Amino acid sequence: MSNQKAIATPKRTKEILNKYGFSFKKSLGQNFLIDVNILEKIMDVAGVTKEVGAIEIGPGMGALTEQLAIHANRVVAFEIDQRLIPILKETLQTYDNIEIVNQDILKADIKHVMDTYFQEQKEVKIVANLPYYITTPILMKLLMDRLPVSSITVMIQKEVADRMAAKPNTKSYGSLSIAVQYYTEARVAMNVPKTVFMPQPNVDSSVLQLDIRDKPPVEVEDESFFFDLVQACFGQRRKTLRNNLARHFSTWTKEQVEEQLNKAGIDGTRRGESLNMEEFADLANSFYSAH
């Protein structure tokens, strides 16, 4: 297939926009990809092959969808914007392995959609260029729903990708790093300049590769308690664990907080960003047993 025909070029994108009189909705964070090379690289990072089924979120005009259709066995794309459905029908009409689902991914029963369309596929991957304003809620839903997918490859705001893949003792490391890495092995696969989008966003992007873990790397008594406690430890980054936890467990005495810190073998003068996931798990389990 020649690149001239590919959707992901400035010329073709403008043609489609003009034909349909389409205007970008700021509220939906619409930025369309106009660079085929970047899309090819995303296919490589995600490891999309003909053995694989692919789920896409926010296909826009179908630039990434088209590449997924070429490389994957079957593609299901969730698009919230009703105005894009007829455009997608036209831009993708030459492919017979694409289903477009006009639903909000945050409200969709993704498991049911997977059961409907992916009976033949042994492996399903999620690949998407996510709208910036809603990246974190979408990813957390995908992870917490524990979908039977092997990986998630997403183009997102660089700063958010850095936070999700961050290691302890770095500026980007925080409760989001722990939440994402509890479910996945996370790495930033590549950085992407804003020039490959139309309209150009104000920030640079990165492709984040999340390989889903078979099971979390730590054992916690209660997941939501664990995540709450992690968040509390980063409540005020400059403050010590002791202070942040005293605020979180506001009905406890200082001695009670200190006792659980000691029980977990964690020095209360440390800051949240210095703890790794094992230490957070020890801390959460210690506090959980006493609460």
Binding region: 31, 33, 58, 79, 104, 129
Binding region for S-adenosyl-L-methionine: 31, 33, 58, 79, 104, 129
Burial of 120 (0-12, 13-18, 19+ CB in 10 A): exposed
What confidence category does residue 29 fall into, taking pLDDT thresholds of 50, 70 and 90? Answer: low
What is the distance between the alpha carbons of residues 64 and 71, in angstroms, rounded to a whole number? 11
Task: Give me the pLDDT at residue 136, please.
Answer: 94
| pLDDT tops 50 at residue 87 | yes
Task: Give me the pLDDT at residue 202, please.
Answer: 84
What confidence category does residue 62 fall into, taking pLDDT thresholds of 50, 70 and 90? Answer: very high
Angle among Cα 83, 52, 216 to the nearest 5 degrees reads: 100
Task: Give me the pLDDT at residue 3, please.
Answer: 42
| β-sheet bridge partners, residue 127 | 153
Q: Bigger pLDDT: 54 or 132?
A: 54
Task: Set out the domains of the chain in order of their start, with CATH numbers.
Answer: 10-212 (3.40.50.150), 223-290 (1.10.8.100)
Q: Given CA atoms 177, 67, 64, 75 in this order, what sign does their dihedral have?
A: negative
Task: Give me the pLDDT at residue 167, please.
Answer: 98
| pLDDT tops 80 at residue 27 | no
| pLDDT tops 80 at residue 4 | no
Around Cβ 101, how many Cβ atoms within 10 Å?
19
pTM: 0.92
Q: Are 191 and 162 in contact (CB under 8 A)?
A: no
The maximal CA–CA distance of the chain, rounded, in angstroms, is 70
Mean pLDDT confidence for 22-44: 80
What confidence category does residue 165 fall into, taking pLDDT thresholds of 50, 70 and 90? Answer: very high
Q: Are 145 and 114 in contact (CB under 8 A)?
A: no
What is the distance between the alpha carbons of residues 232 and 288, in angstroms, rounded to a whole number? 14
What is the distance between the alpha carbons of residues 157 and 238, in angstroms, rounded to a whole number? 25
The least confident of 16-20, 103-107, 246-250, 275-279 is 16-20
Task: Give me the pLDDT at residue 2, please.
Answer: 41
Site of tokens 């990986």: 151
What is the distance between the alpha carbons of residues 272 and 254, in angstroms, rounded to a whole number? 18
pLDDT in tens, 112-161: 999 999 998 899 999 999 988 889 999 999 999 999 999 999 999 999 99
| β-sheet bridge partners, residue 57 | 78
Q: Bigger pLDDT: 3 or 91?
A: 91
pLDDT in tens, 181-239: 999 999 999 999 988 888 888 889 999 999 999 999 999 999 999 999 999 999 998 99
What is the distance between the alpha carbons of residues 19 and 32, in angstroms, rounded to a whole number? 16
